[in-house]
Amino acid sequence: MDQLNLLCIIFLLLGHRLIHARPADSGYGGGYDKPADGPLSFGFYDKSCPNLGMIVRWGVWAAFKNDTRIAASLLRLHFHDCFVDGCEGSVLLDDTKDFKGEKNAFPNRNSARGFELIDSIKADVEKACPSIVSCVDILAIAAREAVVLSGGPFWPVALGRLDGLVASEKSANEQLPSPFEPLVNITAKFVAKGLDAKDMVVLSGAHTIGFAQCFTFKRRLFNFKGSGKADPSLDTPFLSNLQTSCPNSDTSNSKLVPLDAQTITRFDNSYYKNIVGNSGLLESDTALITDPQTAAMVKAYSADPFLFAKDFAASMLKLGNIGVLTGQAGQVRKTCGLLN
């Protein structure tokens, strides 16, 4: 048995107790009676769907052992959901006659993955507890499980979100940060969601896993800012490797390159070490070292993996609380891509 599968099995065997982990003094209860953080509760499904955590964990693990890339895909899917009009599962919706959804928005088209896995986990959850658990809550748990399986931090996921009734391609195009934007614009988009510069820097650390298509950074390799030359800030061997991986032709645009070539599947602080060493892949990654405030945080996280893990968990809790729907504001979809 290889090391990855052994670690995954140990995680599954020991993880059941973690899914319900919560601070001893929290007073978290089920339902909406004693909210833990805003309208959400860490024990929301304890009585109505007590095996939810294990079902989601098993589904993510089964996918992860065959495709470690799914971890980054699930984390990105959760981020792209919450960042566009709040955490309400809108990214999961298919287009309808009434709206064009987010799946085909520019930041998601031919890049967002994991929809089929969330659908599969939802089907398993429906068998255990019909019409109880929202798709958006499943996605939130799945993102956490994906990070933990990749060696990253655990954080308790407050639950009780409802699935939204609409999705907007326009909102996705406008609200999601782009790797081509200046740092000030990206920071402003985080602030608009109730997050701050620290959250922006620490959540960017999610780029320690996953891949990017060549077109998202290729102008840095051959025609940086219209100069006809490469970005002079890039480490020379790193640049040479990228130019080999992404030749200067349109045929390489969709080719995948790891966001963190040092530890491709490991959730750690190598992303920040890369930036300090002039080996950040995206322009938005490199930009973090050009501003004194964000540069200080990058250097701190590059030197202290435990600080990064702690702060990442805290920022993920904040991310998961953006624009949640409760009460009569949404629904529990039976199928994640379709409204009931």
- The answer to whether 61 and 149 are in contact (CB under 8 A) is yes
- Check the annotation: does 305 bind a ligand: no
- Check the annotation: does 250 bind a ligand: no
Query: Tokens 């890369």 belong to which residue?
Result: 274
- Check the annotation: does 233 bind a ligand: no
Active-site choice (16, 20, 78, 80): 80
- Check the annotation: does 137 bind a ligand: no
- Check the annotation: does 84 bind a ligand: yes
- As a whole number of angstroms, the distance between CA 60 and CA 117 comes to 8
Query: Tokens 């896993």 belong to which residue?
Result: 209
- Check the annotation: does 81 bind a ligand: yes
- Check the annotation: does 292 bind a ligand: no
82 pairs with which residues across the strands? none
Structural tokens at position 313: 């968990």
Residue 311 CB contacts under 8 Å (≥ 6 apart), including other chains: 198, 202, 301
- The answer to whether 233 and 288 are in contact (CB under 8 A) is no
E strand intervals along the chain: 211-213, 256-258
- Check the annotation: does 78 bind a ligand: no
- Check the annotation: does 56 bind a ligand: no
- The alpha carbon torsion through 133, 35, 43, 134 (nearest 10 deg) reads 10
Please classify residue 233 by burial: count the beta carbons closer than 10 Å to its beta carbon, then call 0-12 exposed, 13-18 middle and 19+ buried: middle
DSSP 180-232: TS-HHHHHHHHHHTT--HHHHHHHHGGGGSSEEEGGGTTHHHH-GGGSSS--T
What residue type is assigned to position 267 of the chain? F
- Check the annotation: does 102 bind a ligand: yes
- As a whole number of angstroms, the distance between CA 324 and CA 326 comes to 7
- Check the annotation: does 196 bind a ligand: no
- As a whole number of angstroms, the distance between CA 295 and CA 280 comes to 13
80 belongs to the catalytic site = yes
Please report, in range form, the residues annotated as the binding site for heme b: 207
Please report, in range form, the residues annotated as the binding site for Ca(2+): 81, 84, 86, 90, 102, 208, 260, 263, 268
Please report, in range form, the residues annotated as the binding site for substrate: 177
Which residues are marked as active site?
80
Please report, in range form, the residues annotated as the binding site: 81, 84, 86, 90, 102, 177, 207-208, 260, 263, 268
